[in-house]
Structure 1
Amino acid sequence: MTGLDLVHYRGGRIFTAGEPAWAESLLARDGTIEFAGDTAAADSRADGARVVELDGAFVLPGFVDAHTHLLSLGKSLRQVDLFDAADLAEIQDRLATAAAADPAAPRVLGRSWLFGALDGRTPDRHMIDAAVADRPVYLAANDMHSAWVNTAALRELGIDADTPDPIGGRVGRDAEGEPDGMLYESAALLLMRRFLDSTVSDAERDVALAAAFEHYVADGVTAAVDMALGTEELATLERAFARGGGRLPLRVAGHWLVERTGRTEDEVAQVAAAAELSRRLSGPWLRVTGIKLMVDGVIDSCTAAMSAPFADGSHPGPIWDLDALTAVVTAADAAGLQVAMHAIGDSASDIALSALERAIAANGPRDRRHRIEHLETVTEANVLRLARLGVVASMQPVHADPAIQDNWRAMLGDDRVHRGYPWPEFTAAGAVVAFGSDAPTAPHPPLPNMYIATTRRSATNPRLPANIPGYALGLADAFAHATRHGAYSCRWERLTGRLAEGLAADFVVLDRDPFTEGPDSLLRAKVHAVVVAGERRT
């Protein structure tokens, strides 16, 4: 078929994520939908069309992962997966096995280990040394905000008793002041990551990104928001974009990471660089839409900024204080950039909203589309404030999986656990909720993510009790948050996210219909076909 051929996708059960919510047929030409409605009306308009019979199959818009890290996901696919390692012995066994399988590898990289697997013990370098001592081992925690390394890795990084903590991070230390093998926040996200990035070639990055694209498309994702782009990530995306002749396997909008340096002029200069990238990259396949700021850490390693201490008595502050954050947010807002702020703790979301209020007061009213990422613990007052400011609540159902909640709950240790991940509160207040995965901190496939959203049960162990079941969503709402609202979150609502006239023919065909079979079927459902811009990709 030529690019101008009319295609009639006929006779399905099509969830449009729009109004009306359901259709039976789609007409698409040159990658754009010309009609979505009943089959009889489509037949009358489809003279000469190539017909693709859907035979009653369930169709929905392509998923828009509203928060992911594509290159990191691709790299993680080749690392030792420790997510389901039950205990320290199993972690050690997997590391030893990986090291023995590739004795020439200069280092061992692993990912997704859980604090809960250590049964209350604090991870230290000697535990890894017992499995692999002859070369560096780097293990990113499941939340990606801390890392666990062995003695050889500390030596390779040049970290010793005299190494100062970086801004916004901490080197774990034992009672004698020696590094204990734990790196928190910027010590892992910047110090360790920069070193490891320097060991990877452009060719290896290209392979990793291609793998991420392949997995995403196969699972029904047709657009993604890459959250925290740096120089290497963007360069890799641009190489793929050029090789694809101005297209990518899926649409990518990105947020440029602004690093905390402690110098306002440097931080504002990073905003200016992001604004220039946004002017240069603004198309339907690759765009830089804003900046990303890390306001705090995470609950599992007690680095989130909370209004009250953690159960162990620790009470860290935010990575960005309000005045420093306001300067950057105001500059980005003035430049027309979307601001996305990682804020997990209730204090962090309060600071983020206050910075946005100051920016709005300084720059005047307009459509902004700023976002706060994660919002795992947030006060009811700030839910209302977020909605009033028109801020998008960017959240990840997979983070609420009961299988990974034990340590999360233990670190809070009080009534705060009863308001974790309160998705329906945001929509009740009038806010837009956009769902993503935050891969590779969590599995990227959207169907298990939708299962968690609609049941609050575990996609990996459905026998576990639901995690605050009163916060479960209906199927239509969950799918809308993962499609229509994901597109809205990156200003692509006039391009994709719904199946309607004038929008891209980006959609997914499943082998079963969860609306008729129930949410449990999401764990059995398979992607039968994926269409991106009218082109079948699977």
Structure 2
Amino acid sequence: MTERTNRTVLLRGGNVHSPADPFATAMLVEGEQIAWVGSDGAAETYAATADEVIELAGALVTPAFVDAHVHATSAGLALTGLDLTDCRSLPEALRRIAEFAAATEGVLIGHGWDETKWPEGRPPTLAELDEACGGAPLYLSRTDVHSALASGALRSATEGLAEAAGYHPDGPLTKDAHHAVRQAALTRLTPAQRRAAQLATLTRAAQLGIGALHECSGPEIASEQDLAALLELAAETDGPEVFAYWGELAERGGVETARRLGAIGAGGDLFVDGALGSHTACLHTPYSDAEHTGTSYLTAEQVADHVTACTEAGLQAGFHAIGDAALAAVIDGVRTAADRLGLARVKALRHRVEHAEALDDKAVAAFAELGLTASVQPAFDAAWGGPEGMYVQRLGAERAAELNPFAAMLRAGVPLAFGSDAPVTPLDPWGSVRAAAFHQTLEHRISVRAAFAAHTRGGWRAIGRDQDGVLVPGAVASYAIWAADDLVVQAPDSRVAGWSTDPRSGTPGLPDLTPGEPLPQCLRTVVRGKTVFQR
């Protein structure tokens, strides 16, 4: 039964993470807003008249997380279908494909293979793929979703595939060929399959204390129908809020389409380049393991024209850019738009850059100058960083150590919004906070408190809602309740150890996220005053 939205709920006997009162143990919610935070003693004033009293029994209350970059349908298909992210070898992947094909009718869609983690060091051949899937149409996105494997049946059903850029007769498909087979596979989903996948993503997000998602859609990612169905589903079900981006150039009608669909920006995955794992991120100098510099999809002039059109329309622009050359094109383009329209006008829209991995100090300073929001994924470093990771394979140790410089961004005043890019990495907000605080490159680490802010308030600021994502009177009542062990405050003189539990710090505590410690378990997720998950 749907809850009344004007109900009053009192939470008491726990730890409320609030800058309004670092020692708060209680919170009052009236309808969709937080009305008060304070002590258990003061809470007695409200207990008699509250519609519900939640006894926290020491649990932690925090703002709900915001995942600032997801692909709901693809993430749901990974949750409900064939997920190869933890495969340890090529034979294991082929076995799982065969088992999935035997149990599934229609088009087969899977995700997550990563040949860099397999002893064989290669993806399956087309013959191996066809044998495993029994001749069915099969689409398998690589873990970075910038290349894919497609069976012979799906290739045959994709018009013009052999002439498309990025086509390979036997191996993974990239560029336009990848986009073509992805569309061919996704258009074969029934509305019921699509709805089930999207619902799986929304349900999983709620279970993890996520109260809002930024859906990064676009013509090369999904379809207008897919995004419209997601927004309709989110509106009619109790779950996380969904804020949509449509990644299409203004010159191709992107601004008009974004407005028609109800998107808040013409951006998100508007590709300037690809991804490092697929050798399609655009670099200034060649890859260490390939004799080329990746792929450029947009020029600085196209970026400038898009940002200009979006700014004039009062709509947020955004770009997918990972490699240093792609990021340079974005910076040059945004600067040109600022020269045309005035810097203040461009900065006011908080245009976004998704991923923004290969930033040097000059690029970080440019982000701050131009008011660009960095929508980043700390789990990328956890998955592919470190001395033995994929980044080192692709770029060598020196360049790999420069990736994802979160600390430098914060020092420069670059706004950070954390996300997962699910299904590229899973929905896992506390895991992302941990990954940023324990970045595999020491100088890029940030405090747990800063990382938590980037995954909560940062997501709201990225869409222009500065007042949300914090538990203070007047803010939207989107929060989560956690079973967590002792709360700690990270000491200012160390980012690795040096945890402090001293209450005199006056800083709200957070769970100990030191690697090896268990992550907090979500007990309840509330979105705008409505409970959308309860354990």
TM-score (norm 1): 0.86
Q: Which residue of 1 aligns with 2:9?
A: 7
1:399 CA drift (Å): 0.9
**CA distances 1:379-401 after superposition (whole Å, capped 9, x unpaired):** 11000110121111111111111
Residues 1:3 and 1:332: Cα distance change in structure 2 (over 3 Å): closer
Q: Which residue of 1 aligns with 2:390?
A: 407
Q: Which amino acid aligns with 1:88?
A: L
CA distance in structure 1 between the aligned counterparts of 2:517 and 2:8, rounded to whole angstroms: 32
Q: Which residue of 2 aligns with 1:374?
A: 355
CA distance in structure 2 between the aligned counterparts of 1:470 and 1:522, rounded to whole angstroms: 22
Q: Which residue of 2 aligns with 1:428?
A: 411
Q: Which residue of 1 aligns with 2:106?
A: 106
Q: Gaps (5+ residues) in structure 1? A: 173-178, 282-286, 457-466
CA distance in structure 2 between the aligned counterparts of 1:158 and 1:514, rounded to whole angstroms: 58
Q: Which residue of 2 aligns with 1:304?
A: 281
Residues 1:132 and 1:207: Cα distance change in structure 2 (over 3 Å): closer
Report the secondary structure of 2:473's partner residue. Answer: coil
CA distance in structure 2 between the aligned counterparts of 1:357 and 1:339, rounded to whole angstroms: 14
Q: Which residue of 2 aligns with 1:250?
A: 240
Q: Which amino acid aligns with 1:221?
A: I
1:532 CA drift (Å): 1.5
CA distance in structure 1 between the aligned counterparts of 2:300 and 2:146, rounded to whole angstroms: 22
CA distance in structure 1 between the aligned counterparts of 2:70 and 2:230, rounded to whole angstroms: 14
Q: Which amino acid aligns with 2:34?
A: I
Q: Establish whether residue 359 from structure 1 lines up as the match of residue 353 from structure 2.
A: no
Q: Which amino acid aligns with 1:31?
A: E
Q: Which residue of 2 aligns with 1:340?
A: 318
Q: Establish whether residue 473 from structure 1 lines up as the match of residue 467 from structure 2.
A: no
**CA distances 1:81-139 after superposition (whole Å, capped 9, x unpaired):** 1111111111111112222334xx23432210012144433653133234234223221
CA distance in structure 2 between the aligned counterparts of 1:491 and 1:513, rounded to whole angstroms: 34
Q: Which residue of 2 aligns with 1:65?
A: 67
Q: 1:514, 1:522 within 8 Å by CA — same for their partners in 2? A: no
Q: 1:396, 1:435 within 8 Å by CA — same for their partners in 2? A: yes
Residues 1:47 and 1:358: Cα distance change in structure 2 (over 3 Å): farther
Question: Matched residues, percent identical?
Answer: 29
1:317 CA drift (Å): 4.1
Q: Which residue of 1 aligns with 2:472?
A: 500
Q: Which amino acid aligns with 1:373?
A: E
Correspondence list, 1:110-509, <5 A: 110-118=110-118, 119-121=120-122, 123-158=124-159, 163-166=162-165, 170-172=166-168, 179-188=169-178, 190-229=179-218, 230-241=223-234, 243-244=236-237, 248-258=238-248, 265=251, 267=252, 269-277=253-261, 281=262, 288-292=264-268, 293-311=270-288, 312-364=290-342, 365-366=344-345, 367-402=348-383, 406-456=389-439, 467-494=440-467, 496-509=468-481
CA distance in structure 2 between the aligned counterparts of 1:32 and 1:77, rounded to whole angstroms: 32
Residues 1:468 and 1:310: Cα distance change in structure 2 (over 3 Å): same
CA distance in structure 1 between the aligned counterparts of 2:193 and 2:109, rounded to whole angstroms: 15
- Calculate the aligned-residue CA RMSD, in Å: 2.3
Which of 515, 522, 527 is equivalent to 2:522?
Answer: 527
Q: 2:373, 2:417 within 8 Å by CA — same for their partners in 1? A: yes
Correspondence list, 1:15-54, <5 A: 15-16=17-18, 18=19, 23-44=24-45, 48-49=49-50, 50-54=52-56
Q: 1:60, 1:508 within 8 Å by CA — same for their partners in 2? A: yes
Report the secondary structure of 2:391's partner residue. Answer: helix
Report the secondary structure of 1:386's partner residue. Answer: helix
Report the secondary structure of 2:167's partner residue. Answer: strand
1:488 CA drift (Å): 0.6
Q: 1:455, 1:469 within 8 Å by CA — same for their partners in 2? A: yes
Q: Which amino acid aligns with 2:317?
A: V
CA distance in structure 1 between the aligned counterparts of 2:322 and 2:75, rounded to whole angstroms: 21
Which of 512, 518, 531 is equivalent to 2:512?
Answer: 518
CA distance in structure 2 between the aligned counterparts of 1:101 and 1:45, rounded to whole angstroms: 55
Q: Which amino acid aligns with 2:89?
A: D
CA distance in structure 1 between the aligned counterparts of 2:336 and 2:307, rounded to whole angstroms: 9
Report the secondary structure of 2:73's partner residue. Answer: helix
Q: 1:377, 1:419 within 8 Å by CA — same for their partners in 2? A: yes
CA distance in structure 2 between the aligned counterparts of 1:136 and 1:3, rounded to whole angstroms: 46
1:270 CA drift (Å): 2.1
Q: Gaps (5+ residues) in structure 2? A: 489-510
1:45 CA drift (Å): 5.6
1:289 CA drift (Å): 3.6
1:509 CA drift (Å): 1.0
CA distance in structure 1 between the aligned counterparts of 2:240 and 2:519, rounded to whole angstroms: 24
1:252 CA drift (Å): 1.1
CA distance in structure 2 between the aligned counterparts of 1:100 and 1:47, rounded to whole angstroms: 59
CA distance in structure 2 between the aligned counterparts of 1:404 and 1:388, rounded to whole angstroms: 28
Report the secondary structure of 2:267's partner residue. Answer: strand
TM-score (norm 2): 0.87
